[in-house]
């Protein structure tokens, strides 16, 4: 099977960097393990990025919007949705993509193509926030909450090779092929091109390179420079099948020249990704069973190593003590023995032997966990599909924001972040509307359409929604104040000598305060089977069955799962036409706890 090398990644990074300038992430979908990211380039152009942990990352012109989502996709959306693309880079000519985004808290998506492949999201400090797979090895640990480190390089970058390095390779290896292939981080399919340019073969004795070290360095750097500055993407016939190259290799037939590597990746890999996405999804039972066993083995490994370390310390202490004291150390260690010990040295030797035994058990546990870990992907290819298809429903313009309908039938629309706050006020605010904001930092704007005729009941409803979707939720406040103003009181101009951050507006004149609004939200399904969230007094007029939540220290994704499960229960339906991601988008940012369930389904449903 064709696969991308570090040279193709080098060129793809340049293509991505150019084609995604000025875009932001609009949505993310999945096909199996691969992620399809829709970037929006204002005003309305869509650019699709295929992110495959096995195939690569490229801009696609052949992706049609696909309706699948997984738990991992939902987590990616939570971290990256509406993030503005900054730049694409590569890690040291390796098969690692890094996509950086402009956010105050910093975000970076890292895609590793080395088997079994991985997709990660890190923060501005490099700490892993989300990952498709954990890595726990002697070389590195890639787990949530730990700083990310790329795969260790075992070979030298062709850009770093010096004349003395070439001399060491000549002395170490017998043939030219081994000297270059084993010591230089050059994709194997390009090693042949290096040898061609040196007029050598793989079996040529390495001694032939003596006095040609500078020429070897120049050829290596020349190939990298050519790939970076003047690539010629093409599809070539090789003994192992068709493969993608960025430098047409001598001696191979070029089947097709491409305008870009992305175009060739579409041609070679996209259908494979679609076909793989159509295979059955994970057998959760088998996978979880394997993961539990692996977890126990890792715990055993750590326990054995801890006990062994204690015994080694005890052995060192016993060796330096009189025999009576050494025997007491033995008893304190919790290790019993029938062996006669007449000296401190014999006690120390016995303790050292037991430590070695425990270290051996730790090694066995580690080997067993590694072996089982390889079977997890196999378990993930068996069983029935568990991903849900997203309904192909045309959304109303206001569904991009937070929204609900008041008890009087008016539409209340709120921002999700600084960008949508700005869009809501600048594009959708009309003269007959009313604008709401919480009296604290970190609040959305809510616009009550045709709100000049608002009732006292609606004032309370929109004020409550405004504080519920503000920072009051994450900080766990029980209540908070809000206020409303007329459209003409909202200005994009900062007061003299002050600065307005993006998404912020200045309020002029009198503010109409609504105090002590309870921080609480209700969520249910309306008649169009859409998830809608807002104050209970408004939601009960839209939904006959709904869930009421208050802030709680819990992951937002866990809360969304619980709400979806509870909505299914009270509606009497085993499967609702909504996803966890839709629920997550409707709820305030942060976790919550269910305080009541309203409208339990009757037995006849």
Q: Which of 39, 76, 40 minimizes the C-alpha distance to 581?
A: 76
Answer CATH for 6-142 from 2.30.310.10, 2.30.30.30, 3.40.50.2300, 3.40.47.10: 2.30.310.10
Average pLDDT (359-365) is 86
Q: What's the pLDDT tens digit per position in 72-94? A: 998 999 899 889 999 999 988 99
Residue 219: what pLDDT?
95
State the Cα–Cα distance between residues 484 and 517, nearest whole angstrom: 13
Average pLDDT (496-521) is 84
Say if residue 559's pLDDT is above 60.
yes
Say if residue 62's pLDDT is above 90.
no
Residue 551: what pLDDT?
95
For residues 482 and 517, the answer to whether their CB atoms sit within 8 Å is yes
State the Cα–Cα distance between residues 177 and 577, nearest whole angstrom: 58
Phi then psi for residue 490, to 5 deg, are -95, 125
Q: Which of 23, 78, 119 minimizes the C-alpha distance to 555?
A: 78
Name the average pLDDT for the chain: 87
Q: What's the pLDDT tens digit per position in 165-210? A: 999 999 999 999 999 999 999 888 899 899 999 999 999 999 999 9
Residues 100, 105, 106, CA angle at the centre, nearest 5°?
Answer: 10
Q: What percent of the chain has pLDDT over 70?
A: 90
Say if residue 401's pLDDT is above 80.
yes
State the Cα–Cα distance between residues 428 and 115, nearest whole angstrom: 48
This prediction's pTM: 0.51
Residue 281: what pLDDT?
46
Residue 207: what pLDDT?
93
Residue 377: what pLDDT?
58
Neighbours of 363 (CB within 10 A): 13
State the Cα–Cα distance between residues 84 and 343, nearest whole angstrom: 71
The domain spans of the chain are: 6-142, 163-260, 284-379, 397-598
Q: How far is CA 134 from the centre of its chain?
A: 12
Question: Given the structure tokens 């890094």, which residue do they identify?
Answer: 98
Quickly list H helices, 508-595. Answer: 536-539, 556-571, 580-586
Residue 351: what pLDDT?
87
- Integer CA distances (angstroms), 577 to 75, 354, 573, 585, in order: 20, 59, 10, 15
Residue 282: what pLDDT?
46
Q: What's the pLDDT tens digit per position in 215-273? A: 999 999 999 999 999 999 999 988 888 899 999 888 888 988 988 999 999 988 988 88
Residue 575: what pLDDT?
61
For residues 460 and 515, the answer to whether their CB atoms sit within 8 Å is no
For residues 311 and 351, the answer to whether their CB atoms sit within 8 Å is yes
Strand partners, 52: 56
Say if residue 43's pLDDT is above 90.
no
State the Cα–Cα distance between residues 219 and 76, nearest whole angstrom: 42
- At residue 161 the predicted structure's pLDDT band, cuts being 50, 70 and 90, is very high
Q: Give me the sign of the Cα torsion angle 117, 119, 123, 129.
A: negative
Residues near 365 by Cβ (< 8 Å), separated by ≥ 6?
297, 298, 300, 301, 304
Residue 499: what pLDDT?
66
State the Cα–Cα distance between residues 535 and 521, nearest whole angstrom: 5
Say if residue 571's pLDDT is above 80.
no
**Higher local confidence (pLDDT), 568 or 589:** 589
Q: DSSP 3-state assignment of 264?
A: helix
- At residue 67 the predicted structure's pLDDT band, cuts being 50, 70 and 90, is low
Q: What's the pLDDT tens digit per position in 99-151? A: 999 977 789 999 999 988 999 999 999 999 999 999 888 889 999 999 999 98
Plot region of 211 (φ>0 → left; ψ -120 to 50 → alpha; else → beta)? left
């Amino acid at each position: 099977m064709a696969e991308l090398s570090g040279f193709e990644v080098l060129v793809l990074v340049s293509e991505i960097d150019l084609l995604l300038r000025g875009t932001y992430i609009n949505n993310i979908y999945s096909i199996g393990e691969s992620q399809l990211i829709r970037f929006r380039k204002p005003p309305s152009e869509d650019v699709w990025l295929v992110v495959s942990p096995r195939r690569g990352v490229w801009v696609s012109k052949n992706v049609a919007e696909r309706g699948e989502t997984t738990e991992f996709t939902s987590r990616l959306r939570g971290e990256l949705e509406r993030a503005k693309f900054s730049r694409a880079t590569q890690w040291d000519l390796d098969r690692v993509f890094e996509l950086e985004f402009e956010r105050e808290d910093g975000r970076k998506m890292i895609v590793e193509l080395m088997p079994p492949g991985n997709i990660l999201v890190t923060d501005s400090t490099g700490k892993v926030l989300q990952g498709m797979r954990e890595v726990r090895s002697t070389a590195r640990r890639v787990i949530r909450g730990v700083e990310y480190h790329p795969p260790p390089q075992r070979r030298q970058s062709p850009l770093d090779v010096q004349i003395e390095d070439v001399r060491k390779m000549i002395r170490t290896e017998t043939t030219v092929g081994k000297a270059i292939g084993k010591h230089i981080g050059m994709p194997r399919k390009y090693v042949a091109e290096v040898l061609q340019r040196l007029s050598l073969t793989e079996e040529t004795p390495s001694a032939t390179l003596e006095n040609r070290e500078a020429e070897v360095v120049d050829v290596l750097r020349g190939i990298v420079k050519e790939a970076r500055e003047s690539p010629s993407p093409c599809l070539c016939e090789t003994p192992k099948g068709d493969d993608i190259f960025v430098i047409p290799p001598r001696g191979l037939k070029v089947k097709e020249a491409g305008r870009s590597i992305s175009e060739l990746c579409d041609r070679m890999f996209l259908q494979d990704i679609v076909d793989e996405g159509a295979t059955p999804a994970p057998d959760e039972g088998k996978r979880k069973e394997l993961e539990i066993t692996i977890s126990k083995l890792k715990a055993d490994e750590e326990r054995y190593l801890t006990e062994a370390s204690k015994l080694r310390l005890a052995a060192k202490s016993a060796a330096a003590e009189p025999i009576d004291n050494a025997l007491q150390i033995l008893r304190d260690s919790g290790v019993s023995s029938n062996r006669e010990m007449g000296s401190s040295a014999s006690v120390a030797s016995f303790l050292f032997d037991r430590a070695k035994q425990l270290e051996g058990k730790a090694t066995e546990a580690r080997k067993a966990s590694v072996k089982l870990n390889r079977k997890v992907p196999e378990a993930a290819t068996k069983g029935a599909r568990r991903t849900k298809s997203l309904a192909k429903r045309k959304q109303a313009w206001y569904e991009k924001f937070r929204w609900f309908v008041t008890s009087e039938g008016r539409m209340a629309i709120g921002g999700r972040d600084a960008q949508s706050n700005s869009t809501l006020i600048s594009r959708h605010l009309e003269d007959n509307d009313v604008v709401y904001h919480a009296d604290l930092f970190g609040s959305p704007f809510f616009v009550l359409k045709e709100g000049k005729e608002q009732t006292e009941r609606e004032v309370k409803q929109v004020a409550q929604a405004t504080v519920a979707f503000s920072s009051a939720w994450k900080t766990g406040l029980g209540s908070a104040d809000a206020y409303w103003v007329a459209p003409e009181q909202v200005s994009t101009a900062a007061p003299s000598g002050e600065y307005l951050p993006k998404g912020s507006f200045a309020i002029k004149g009198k503010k109409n305060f609504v105090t002590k609004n309870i921080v609480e939200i209700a969520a249910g399904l309306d008649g169009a089977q859409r998830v809608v969230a807002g104050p209970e007094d408004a939601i009960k007029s839209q939904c006959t069955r709904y869930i009421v939540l208050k802030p709680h220290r819990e992951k937002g994704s866990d809360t969304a799962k619980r709400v979806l499960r509870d909505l299914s229960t009270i509606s009497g339906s085993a499967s609702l036409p909504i996803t966890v991601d839709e629920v997550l988008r409707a709820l305030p940012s942060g976790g919550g706890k269910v305080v009541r369930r309203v409208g339990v389904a009757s037995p006849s449903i």
